[in-house]
Amino acid sequence: MSLIEKALIDKIKVKANVLKHRAIDQHVNLAVTGLSRSGKTAFITSLVNQLINENSQSQMTFFSTIHEGRFIAAKRVPQKDLHIARFDYDSAAKALSEEPPCWPLPTKGISQLRLAIKYQPNNSIIKYTTDNATIFIDITDYPGEWLLDLPMLNQTFEEWSEVMTELLKQAPRVEIAEEFIQRLESLSPFDPVDEKLLAELSEQYTQLLQTFRNEMGLSLIQPGRFILPGDLAGAPILQFFPYTNFSDIDLDAYQKAEEDTLIGMLRARYIEYKERVVKAFYKEHFVNFDRQIILADCLTPLNNGYGSFNDLQQAMNLITESFRYGKANFLTRMFSPKIDKLLFAATKSDHVTPEQHGNLTSLLNQLIHPIRQKINFENITTETIAISSVKATQFGKSQHQGKTLPVIRGIKLPERKQITLFPGMVPKALPAESYWQDNSFNFMPFAPLESTGLHQPFQHIRMDQVLEFLLGDKMK
């Protein structure tokens, strides 16, 4: 062998070694979010379940690593950030595998889980230098409500109060918010306030937010932490609220108000909240995410009516603001986030018949359209998809008045009664108010389908496409 040939081979070996280590040390921080009840817990449980139980019964055709026969195995390994709660996969998977199966309890704050996936790379150089490679996936689950707070960073207390007041004084919120607004009007903002009264009023405001979300199905909740406080439950930093009477007070006196007055204390807490809660989340967590999936349940608001659907649209616009990284954007200046792929998923698509899935995807597309344009422009690849993490219904056909109709069949909760129905048409575009007069959409909770065992993959819709979009390129 000539000296030149030897040098060339040595060079190839060094390069191969570098690539080998790069392949072995691959690592992706995958973030999962969505408003409460959007399906985060079911989604993460299914994603982990599909990967660790991959077998001949898996329906994973669109995940190229599996389809090309390069997937070897996946297992859970201890998480990296020990100060973050562990995502309780075992309890969730057990609930879904029970007889009869139940939905897992939803997560309430931030939690994490780490997966190691062993696979065979198809990149030719890596392939010849190592039999297989490992990719570590750190999955972080966090409430979408926390992203609703981002705009607050750009607002003074006075500006934020004005936006919230407008919202509280409009239908559908005004009916139940009126008492709170009147109580605030009866207090002098410049009188000293004791912490007990502040705590009591904050509790009243938090209850209002809970009612908006849990009973009225509204999505635009600020501050988002108030309804999902995580480890901050009961902390004074969550004890403030918008002042709803700014139009009647002297703004000069407001600027000079001492910190022990009602308005002064509200302002001080608001500033503290932005620094220690909102900014802290972006600095400690958000900046580390590489890939993001945002889950949205469009079907429940469709079922609830115009007010609820309209609110979802506004909330989705606020949530997606966090992914606008243009150079001039304050988010980029403050935190330098690095997410390069963002997937929007309409969840629970097993609640509609398959020919409606296209409409469901295009409805979600329309919901996020204004912001998506800007995100695409800023070099984040985005995609929308309709999924079901864990199927609860089977699709079928039924005869009705001489016609064949597509139907879904499932076990309705809580009574556990088998039901067959055509749930209704999903509008392709954002529906006008009249949609709810002419159409009815029948969304009812179904039990998850019986699983074939704790170590078997759950039935799903398009989880393989989700994996391909989020991880496929990292496992070539």
Question: Which residues are near ligand GDP by CB under 6 A?
Answer: 34, 36-42, 103, 106-107, 347-348, 350-351, 388-390, 392, 445-446
Residue 302 or 390: the one with the smaller Cβ distance to ligand GDP is 390
Find the helix or strand (DSSP H, E) in which 265 lies.
Answer: helix 262-273
Instruction: Extract the tokens encoding 27.
Output: 């690592």
Compute the least distance from the CB of residue 298 to ligand GDP, in Å: 13
CB of 45 or CB of 261, closer to ligand GDP: 45
Cα–chain-centroid distance for residue 14? 42
Count other Cβ atoms within 10 Å, centred on residue 437: 9
For ligand GDP, which is the closer residue by CB, 96 or 342? 96
Gap between the Cα atoms of 446 and 103, Å rounded: 10
The 10 Å CB-count burial string (b at 16+, else e) for 216-249 is: bbbbbbbbbbbbbbbebeeeeebbbbbbbbbeeb
Least distance to ligand GDP, CB of residue 243, Å: 31
Of the pair 294, 368, the CB lying nearest ligand GDP is at 294
The CB-of-37 to ligand GDP minimum distance in angstroms stands at: 4
Residue 111 or 244 with smaller CB distance to ligand GDP: 111
DSSP H helical segments within 345-406, as ranges?
A: 357-377
Least distance to ligand GDP, CB of residue 391, Å: 6
Which residue number, 269 or 391, has a Cβ lying nearer to ligand GDP? 391
- Give min distance, CB of 386 to ligand GDP, in A: 11
**d(Cα 117, Cα 475) in Å, to the nearest integer?**
9
Beta bridge partners of 382: 342
Tell the smallest beta-carbon distance from residue 74 to ligand GDP (Å): 21
- Smaller CB separation from ligand GDP, 264 or 448: 448
Q: What are phi and psi of 288, to 5 degrees?
A: -90, -10
DSSP 275: I
Residue 324: count of CB within 10 angstroms of its CB: 19
Q: Is the Cβ of residue 231 or residue 258 nearer to ligand GDP in the bound state?
A: 231
C-alpha separations of 248 from 161, 193, 197, 244, 265 in Å? 13, 19, 22, 9, 18
Ordered alpha helix ranges (H), 98-233: 124-129, 157-168, 174-185, 195-210
- In the complex, minimum distance from the CB of residue 101 to ligand GDP, in angstroms, rounded to a whole number: 11
What is the closest distance, in whole angstroms, from the C-beta atom of residue 46 to ligand GDP in the complex? 7
